[in-house]
Amino acid sequence: MTDIDVSAPGIGADPSRRRYELEETGFKEVPKKWRKFYRHWGGPLDTLAPNEVICPVCKVVIRATRELRPGDKVYCMPCMSRMVVVVAESGRLEAEVIF
């Protein structure tokens, strides 16, 4: 484990985080069982929820079942990227690709 990794089940299983019920939003670019974890980004005016970050590679919104925190590891299945959640200069949560 590196310092940018968290144990994988941490996000969904952490009861101290606010939980979000995910529903499909019309994003169909992954198999059905994974679809609710992703949605199309609506552009700069699209406000992200605390359980969402934008994939910097393909601009899809990545969603989790609980609020995201810096250091969380998330996957973008539509573009096959692995990333870590960080706090940007703006104070917003962003995702950085890790290889």
Partner 1 sequence: MSVVDEFDPHALAEQDFLDEVHSFQFWFDSVEGYLSDRPYGRLETTVDEPIDDARRERLITTLCNYSVGETAALEGAAGLVQLAPDRNSKIFMATQVADEARHLEVFLHRLRELGVADPEAEIERRAQPALVDFKGALLDLVAEGDWQAAVFAQNVVLETMEYTVFRLHAANADPVTRDVLAGVISDERRHAGFGENDLGRSLAADPSGRARLREIRTGLDAMVVGVFEAALADIGAPAGERSQLAHEYLDTIERLGLT
Specify the residue, 48 or 65, whose C-beta has the smaller distance to partner 1: 65
* Cα–Cα distance measured from residue 50 to residue 39, given in angstroms and rounded to the nearest whole number: 14
Q: Does 11 bind partner 1 (CB under 8 A)?
A: yes
Q: Does 80 bind partner 1 (CB under 8 A)?
A: yes
Residue 95 to residue 51: CA distance in whole angstroms: 12
Q: Is 39 in the site for partner 1 (CB under 8 A)?
A: no
Amino acid at 8: A
Q: Footprint of partner 1 on this chain (CB under 8 A)?
A: 8-9, 11-15, 19, 28-35, 37, 56-58, 60, 64-65, 72-82, 97, 99
